[in-house]
Structure 1
Amino acid sequence: MTLGIVEPKTESQPPGTYFLVDTSQTSAEHPYEHSNFKHGKGKKNNIILIPQPSDDPNDPLLWPTWKREAAFAFLFFNCIIFAACPGPMIAPATVALAIQLAVPIKSVAQLSGYQLLIVGALGPFVSVLARKYGKRPQFLFACLFGVIGTGICIAGFDQSNLTKSYDVLLAGRMVQGLGTTAFESLSVAAIGDMFFLHERGLRTALLVLTLACLSSFVAIIGGTTFEHMGARTLFVILLPIQIFGALGVFFFLPESQYRRVSDVAPITSSSSTVKEKDSANAVTEDAEFNGVEPTATVPKRSFVQDLRVTSGVYSEENLFKLLGEIFLHLGNPAVIWVQLVSAVLVSFFVGTAYTLAQIFSPPPYNLTVSQNGYFFTGALVGGILGVSAGPICDFTARTLARRNKGVYEAEFRIPVCLFAVVVFAAGWFTFSWALDHPSKERVVLCAFCYGAVCFGTSVASTSGGLYILDAFKRHSTEIFILQMMIKNFVFYAFSTFINDYAAKEGPGHMCKVFGIVTLCGFTTCVPMYVFGKVNRVWVHRVWKSYAGEKRL
């Protein structure tokens, strides 16, 4: 057992186990890795690069720093305007918009609910297309539909009667959903394409900030804008920003998918001769498993060539077979775990947002639309503080790897969830108490508690996302698609009943239930940490066997 992780009975190295930290002590035990594998630069020169970059100048890991950072910047920006903005921008105005459109509050909640239903349903198809044709086409099409959807929403407020206005607005929101899926599901996997393991923590945390927490900032702006300028203006402001983001994707986000032969710097035995042989075997086996040949030397693509919509076919598999393979990952216990800690539990945070205007608009709170928006300040602060989960995850990984003689295990990402458990408990149960004892003076306390929940959400999502990215990199796109799909289906489900449930049982009871289920759910982190490596070996064997059967 290594630092509490059960060692599987196998001599092969599973994905997610890497030689990461190279020190004077470990260099003597692993001289082959010390001298033959590429390391980081400057202060990171003791870090072995994972994945090991190829010699191909078009390898995304070898892009110039400006190119990688520009690609990430627009990925981050578009996650905000296409994935984070559309849903919560009308949340503070739920009650006011229901009055304006002459529909029940539940119908306004479903403007976001149906949008999320589209996002979830489209997920598997985006995954298949990304796996076969690359991620860039999916991002470009997402931008196109996002812009069109916002235009339809603007037109919805110009209709001759309220019923037609609602129907057009609903259609526009659903088209916006077509523009959300790719950015919500492929972005974290794209980080794994462009950045090394030790560079992923902060960037993953920033994407989690956009998808889980910057919605709070959108709600703050949305509440004030609605109150002073009307709902139509929200979409009028969003449209040119989305057009700018779409242009940024076209010019600065090239295809990041790459036919990589080997992700792993193998952990070798003590004999130099055996080391070299084992290393060669590891690369050969890896190439066979991927079904690709080692990359030949090719000329570096120009800026204009990078503007191509597609860069060829990345998989020769049938589209329907690829579609079916997505759901095979539900047999992986790690995938079930990440659905729980980073999808279902996150949905409680978002589901609560559907009810906030309903809770705080009536007495004794009497909040206006803009004040309902300002309530999300707590969540915004919590989300920003949650970005710290990324550097903490990286620090924990390096520290535990040093204690493990330089060997990194993907499970080293999981202990950070301890922070999430403590903050979730404080947030949900204090929130429940405050709502059961309503007074206008407790609005600030409620906002603080909601911010604590947001912080916990950020930490859990970052930890879970990094674990999947490190442990199952080759399958990360499909796994993140499943996570996004399930999460959005749960979001939609909440939109159909959560307002009635909060009104019937009381918002305090709702928060108490969310808190209990959350704490129970996080107990699964313990077996996931202890038996995670055994599971990785089993999953690796199953997929190798499946890949072998497909070749016969």
Structure 2
Amino acid sequence: MGLGVLQPSTSEPPPGTEFLVDTDQTNAEHQYEHTHLKHAKGKETSIILVPQPSDDPNDPLLWPRWKREAAFAFLFFNCIIFAACPGPMVAPATVGLSIQLDVEIEDIALLSGYQLLVVGALGPIVSVLAQKYGKRPQFLFASIFGVIGTGICVAGFDQSSLSKSYDVLLAGRLIQGLGTTAYESLSVAAIGDMFFLHERGLRTALLVLTLACLSSFVAICAGTTFEHLGARNLFVILLPIQVFGLLGTVFFLPECQFRRPVTIVGTVSSLEEVREKEGNNKVIDESPATNSPNFPPKRSFIQDLRVFSGTYTSDKLFKLLAEIFVHLLNPAVVWIMLVSAVLVSFFVGTAYTLAQIFTPPPYNLTVSQNGFFFTGALIGGILGISAGPLCDFTARAFARRNRGIYEAEFRIPVCIFAVALFAVGWFTFSWALAHPEKNRVYLCSFCYGAVSFGTSVASTSAGLYILDAFKKYSTEIFILQMMIKNFLFYAFSTFVNEWAASDGPDHMTRVFGIVTVCGFTTCVPMYMFGKLNRVWVYGLWKKYLGDK
């Protein structure tokens, strides 16, 4: 048992069990075991690179630092403007926009609800196209449709009648959804393509910040803009920023998908076996890091601009589509749906009701003040960036205590911090809403910030676990997560306002808190039985799906 992670009886460890820390570099015999493994450079020479890079000059893991960082920078930027911005832009103006367009509050909520429905429904299609043709085409098409959708939203406020304005605005929001899916579902998987395991924590946390919590910053800006410049200018301001993101995608986000050759096999299992033998007689696998020395020449900057770079699998699109849903049989996928997708949907679902709660007495907030309410969530989300380095720190610390061997389950204990934040946030929020006073709006904002912080921590931990434990299936798993999450967003948009009005917002937040705390109890069996599950899943998938 490695620090509470139950060990399978099989001698061959599954992916997600790796050498991460060279625990005794001064020992010559130990150094010999790791001579065929590549290490990080500089101050991190004790870190063994996971995955082991190939010798192909086009391997994204071997791109120059500036190229990898530029690609991530635009990935991060585009997640903000194409995935994080469109949805919450109208949240603080729900009441004001319903008056302006002469429609019900529920109709304004559906401007976001239908958009998220499109995002969720399009997810499986984006997944199979990414597996077949790479991620770059999906990012390019998403950027183009995002720009077009925002342009249509601008035109929606120039129509001759209010009903026509609403219809055009709805059409623009749906097309904006076409621009959201790829960034929301493929970005975390792209980090695994370009960065080693020990480099993923902070970057994953930053993407979680954009996809889960930066919507709060958008809401703050949107509330003030709506009140002072009008709804149309919300989209006028966004449009040129999205054009800039589109240009960045064209020039600085090349294809990062890579056909990685099989690397060293059996290293961990061999070491685990021999350490249990008396005399410590080691049998070292010194197989080369790559199968073939013949590699294509390094691609030029111009060659990287091409839209398509070939196909990455010979499987038919229908087969790839069906395989996505097979992953729902994986208990780890069900777990990430619970601690990430469902809990994020609670956070976003509450956002639909905030203007409805705080616009009437005793709070009497204006549209811009409703936007400023999200300040707590913004601060909580920014603090949530710490979850990335924290996950990396705990992974290294646990690996050192586990004789240098890293288990993907070492990402999970950080969730203890998340559940504490959720409990404080939801239950205090419920109490404050049950005893409404004008000044308690600040306490409510703080509580919503605690929920935002917890959402960031939980989503980062779960995302890193999937990326480490099921890297070869991460695209399909993140697509499933995104799809279910957005379907839940849409579902909440259809009933949450009425629920808050009929049963009270304090009842709603209390239910969210109870479900959240109960849901996090699943982290314990996931940590203990996660490795056994990985062995079972990879064995089953290899038998029925074949090697990818």
TM-score computed with the length of structure 2 as normaliser: 0.96
Shift of 1:296: 2.9
Is residue 50–residue 264 contact of structure 1 (8 Å, CA) maintained in 2? no
* Equivalent residue number for residue 207 of structure 1: 207
Residues 546, 499 of structure 1: alpha-carbon distance in 2 compared, 3 angstrom cutoff: same
2:273 matches 1:275: no
- Give the match's secondary structure for 2:158: coil
Is residue 92–residue 219 contact of structure 1 (8 Å, CA) maintained in 2? yes
* Equivalent residue number for residue 145 of structure 2: 145
Residues 445, 387 of structure 1: alpha-carbon distance in 2 compared, 3 angstrom cutoff: same
2:129 matches 1:129: yes
- Give the match's secondary structure for 2:214: helix
Shift of 1:121: 0.2
- For the residues of structure 2 that align with 1:169 and 1:379, how far apart are their CA atoms? 27
Say which of 524, 538, 541 aligns to 2:539.
541
Shift of 1:31: 3.8
Letter in 1 for 2:540: V
- Give the match's secondary structure for 2:86: coil
* Equivalent residue number for residue 476 of structure 2: 478
2:371 matches 1:370: no
Shift of 1:2: 1.3
Deviates more, 1:535-544 or 1:176-185: 535-544
Shift of 1:34: 2.2
* Equivalent residue number for residue 47 of structure 1: 47
Q: Deviations over 1:429-478 (max 9, x none)?
A: 00000000001110100000000000000000000000000000000000
Is residue 15–residue 264 contact of structure 1 (8 Å, CA) maintained in 2? no
List aligned pairs for 1:16-165, cutoff 5 A: 16-24=16-24, 30-165=30-165
Deviates more, 1:154-163 or 1:16-25: 16-25
- For the residues of structure 2 that align with 1:532 and 1:433, how far apart are their CA atoms? 37
Shift of 1:346: 1.0
- Give the match's secondary structure for 1:192: helix
Residues 294, 487 of structure 1: alpha-carbon distance in 2 compared, 3 angstrom cutoff: farther
Residues 238, 110 of structure 1: alpha-carbon distance in 2 compared, 3 angstrom cutoff: same
Residues 28, 400 of structure 1: alpha-carbon distance in 2 compared, 3 angstrom cutoff: farther
Shift of 1:69: 0.2
The count of residues paired between Structure 1 and Structure 2 equals 539
- For the residues of structure 1 that align with 2:493 and 2:375, how far apart are their CA atoms? 22
Is residue 106–residue 496 contact of structure 1 (8 Å, CA) maintained in 2? yes
Shift of 1:332: 0.2
Q: Deviations over 1:239-278 (max 9, x none)?
A: 000000000010000000000023667313348883226x
Is residue 123–residue 482 contact of structure 2 (8 Å, CA) maintained in 1? yes
2:304 matches 1:306: yes
- Give the match's secondary structure for 1:408: strand
Shift of 1:201: 0.1
Is residue 25–residue 31 contact of structure 2 (8 Å, CA) maintained in 1? no
- For the residues of structure 2 that align with 1:351 and 1:13, how far apart are their CA atoms? 41
Over 4 Å off, 4+ runs: 25-30, 270-273
Residues 313, 32 of structure 1: alpha-carbon distance in 2 compared, 3 angstrom cutoff: farther
List aligned pairs for 1:335-484, cutoff 5 A: 335-484=333-482
- For the residues of structure 2 that align with 1:264 and 1:355, how far apart are their CA atoms? 53
* Equivalent residue number for residue 524 of structure 1: 522
Residues 116, 29 of structure 1: alpha-carbon distance in 2 compared, 3 angstrom cutoff: farther
List aligned pairs for 1:321-336, cutoff 5 A: 321-336=319-334
- Give the match's secondary structure for 1:23: coil
How large is the Cα RMSD of the aligned pairs? 1.6
- For the residues of structure 2 that align with 1:123 and 1:297, how far apart are their CA atoms? 34
Shift of 1:26: 8.8
Is residue 94–residue 108 contact of structure 1 (8 Å, CA) maintained in 2? yes
Is residue 50–residue 263 contact of structure 1 (8 Å, CA) maintained in 2? no
Is residue 24–residue 30 contact of structure 2 (8 Å, CA) maintained in 1? no
Is residue 133–residue 312 contact of structure 2 (8 Å, CA) maintained in 1? yes
2:198 matches 1:198: yes
2:252 matches 1:252: yes
Q: Deviations over 1:48-72 (max 9, x none)?
A: 0000000011000000000000000
**Structure 1 regions of 5+ residues with no counterpart?**
285-292
- For the residues of structure 2 that align with 1:263 and 1:59, how far apart are their CA atoms? 14
- Give the match's secondary structure for 1:503: helix
Letter in 2 for 1:154: V
Is residue 22–residue 47 contact of structure 1 (8 Å, CA) maintained in 2? yes
Is residue 32–residue 272 contact of structure 1 (8 Å, CA) maintained in 2? no
- For the residues of structure 2 that align with 1:59 and 1:347, how far apart are their CA atoms? 36
Is residue 157–residue 165 contact of structure 2 (8 Å, CA) maintained in 1? yes
* Equivalent residue number for residue 288 of structure 1: none
Is residue 123–residue 481 contact of structure 1 (8 Å, CA) maintained in 2? yes
- For the residues of structure 2 that align with 1:528 and 1:25, how far apart are their CA atoms? 33
Q: Deviations over 1:466-507 (max 9, x none)?
A: 000000000000000000000000000000000000000000
- Give the match's secondary structure for 1:18: strand
Letter in 2 for 1:144: I
- For the residues of structure 1 that align with 2:24 and 2:414, how far apart are their CA atoms? 28
Is residue 356–residue 372 contact of structure 1 (8 Å, CA) maintained in 2? yes
- For the residues of structure 1 that align with 2:420 and 2:26, how far apart are their CA atoms? 35
TM-score computed with the length of structure 1 as normaliser: 0.95
